[in-house]
Amino acid sequence: MEEKTTFKGISAYPGTVYGKVFRWKQTKRKREDRTDLSPDEIKEEIELLKKGLHKTEEDLADLVQKSKANRELSEILESQIVFLNDPLFRARVFERISQNNESAGLALETAVSSLYDEFQSIPDEFFRERADHILDIGKRIESNLYPDKVADQTKIPDDVILIAKEITPSEMIQLGKSKLRGIATDFGGKTGHTAIIARNYGIPTIVGLKNITSHVEDDDYILLDATKGILNRSPGLDEIKLAGIKSEIHKVQPVREISDGPKEIKTKDGKKFSLRANIDSEDEVDLAFEQGADGIGLVRTEILFIRYVEFKPTEEEQFAVYKRILLKMVGRSVTFRVWDIGADKMENGYEEENPFLGNRGIRYLLRHPHIFKEQLRALLRASEFGTMRIMLPMITTRSEILQTKILLNECLEELKLTGLSITKKIPLGIMVETPACALNLPFLGNHVDFYSVGTNDLLQYLLAVERNNHLVGDLYNPWQVVFLLLLKNIADVANSQKKPISICGEIGSDPMFTAVLIGLGFRDLSSALPLMKEVGEKVQDISTWKAKLLAEQVIQLAGEEKFEEIESLVLQTKG
């Protein structure tokens, strides 16, 4: 049986690099575990734990102060302080000492392991990724319980691709200061802390590779295509050469080009094109403005509040964040997608057999109007401070849009009673991310102001493939002919309705797709910040008629499943 050479994961921060592997070896502390403590020893272990908790809180507070310049990093650390002081967490550890006669280190490890397993069993990705808080806090406390028994941290060489099972927030902050080419992990997701901190440091990163640590060794040379989420442990010479070109484009640190205003982008034959940014944090808003984005095409509002251990930001907390974002993007539109969350994120103990097809997005929000209206009121209030668009996720039917409009009108009336009258019209749009929605567009156009195609979910639903499932991940291919034809149909319908239509999924950030998307009829892309410049250059390098011809040729090749020929054709096409 041929050994596997390519591995598919989740792109946490885009970029393509070729380099040497360094496997991250987490430290292991040496301690003596006991389960036979005497009453006096129990008191001593409880005091030891109290001191360890206090020292850990001091350490975290100090790190928060040092990270104040970076909002996301400081918020991650602040959320750890909240968790550290959680009465239930503390009670679990103290009870194991007092009731099970366990030494402090053993009690801590057992409690942390139990809590970690509980978080990992929650179906929703957002909460599963909060589990790394628990591991990180456990390691911090243990290092303060036994400071003289800490194994030496392995020094990381410069210019390597780091491979690890998982990386805690503290370790990630430490690693961010190293001169890494890239990072790849077995575990993790797009909203996890490895991804968030990798973005802040601008390190090309793939997470969720399942078992990459079992397939590579120190000093192996690998190709990390973090734009597509693919790791190749035995790349060919042509792939390495191509990666060498891309590596010059995707610098390790994000490019910060200051712009006086939105950059006007046109195709080679003079057709205007809109290029917006996708953002997950307030820090990225500054970058989008500086780099001349036409606006923000997608604000994932649920990720803005990732620091909350329990996902329950108040209306006032939401209003403050939305207002700040709008003020930063003065004169440019900002598209806020309402919470794309599920019941397992909001309701303790709730489990759903298949949350991917269940009570999430607009379905959950309409079933919980008090939660939905709280966010809508915050958005409406903030709309006075800039140019806002509101977008609905997971739409499949017309009635979901009409129900949302009823709630919006109720919110407007409630705000009017408080003396706040919202007079400006706020465009309402929908994410086209289910085949049902895509085919329903002719009947939805009279009820919305714009569309945005969420290509990641649309492709998964269309092909019945979970892209992170290694057993079927090879089928997750955006060059599939049915997907290309569906995209063309979406663009045709939207253009016939004269409705703005954009792409905000991963292929909108992939320069390989730019010309094809223009050829399919799209004139508006929302891109990940690090790739926005390159996508813009691709737009300017091709004419619309040449892009249309390219799209027709690509569809023909896709129908014959000649995917390698497609990539060669795209790379060769100019003008």
Q: Is 504 a catalytic residue?
A: yes
449 is an annotated ligand-binding site residue: no
Task: Tell me the β-bridge partners of 299.
Answer: 279, 336
Single out the catalytic residue among 133, 193, 250, 437: 193
Query: What CA–CA distances, in Å, run from 93 to 26, 55, 393?
Result: 23, 16, 40
* Cα dihedral 165, 69, 302, 307 in deg (nearest 10): 60
457 is an annotated ligand-binding site residue: yes
495 is an annotated ligand-binding site residue: no
- Find the largest Cα–Cα distance for the chain: 84
Name residues whose C-beta falls within 8 Å of residue 205's C-beta, 6 or more positions apart in sequence.
11, 12, 13, 182, 183, 184, 185, 194, 195, 198, 226
Q: Is 411 a catalytic residue?
A: no
Which tokens in the block code for residue 499? 């409705």
β pairing state of 272-279 and 524-528:
parallel
300 is an annotated ligand-binding site residue: yes
| Cα distance between residue 313 and residue 82, in whole Å | 14
Single out the catalytic residue among 250, 411, 437, 504: 504
DSSP sequence for 434-482: SHHHHHHHHHHGGG-SEEEE-HHHHHHHHHT--TT-TTTGGG--TT-HH
| Enclosing H/E stretch for 370 | helix 369-382
Phi, psi of 23 (to 5 degrees): -85, 125
**Burial bucket for residue 163 (CB in 10 Å: 0-12, 13-18, 19+):** buried
Question: Smallest Cα–Cα separation from 192: which of 4, 406, 468, 522?
Answer: 468
Angle CA 136–229–172, to nearest 5:
20
Q: Indicate the residue type of 37.
A: L
Name residues whose C-beta falls within 8 Å of residue 521's C-beta, 6 or more positions apart in sequence.
488, 491, 492, 495, 501
| Cα distance between residue 468 and residue 125, in whole Å | 12
SS (H, E, C) 206-240: EECCCCHHHCCCCCCEEEEECCCCEEECCCCHHHH
Which tokens in the block code for residue 10? 């989740």
Name residues whose C-beta falls within 8 Å of residue 421's C-beta, 6 or more positions apart in sequence.
415
Which tokens in the block code for residue 510? 């992939």
337 is an annotated ligand-binding site residue: yes
| Cα distance between residue 236 and residue 147, in whole Å | 47
| Cα distance between residue 207 and residue 172, in whole Å | 13
Cβ pair 386, 335 in contact under 8 A:
no
| Cα distance between residue 184 and residue 10, in whole Å | 10
* Cα dihedral 267, 516, 496, 395 in deg (nearest 10): -120
| Cα distance between residue 350 and residue 363, in whole Å | 16
Q: Which residues are marked as active site?
A: 193, 504
Give the residue numbers of the binding site for Mg(2+).
Answer: 433, 457
Give the residue numbers of the binding site for phosphoenolpyruvate.
Answer: 300, 337, 456-457, 467
Give the residue numbers of the binding site.
Answer: 300, 337, 433, 456-457, 467
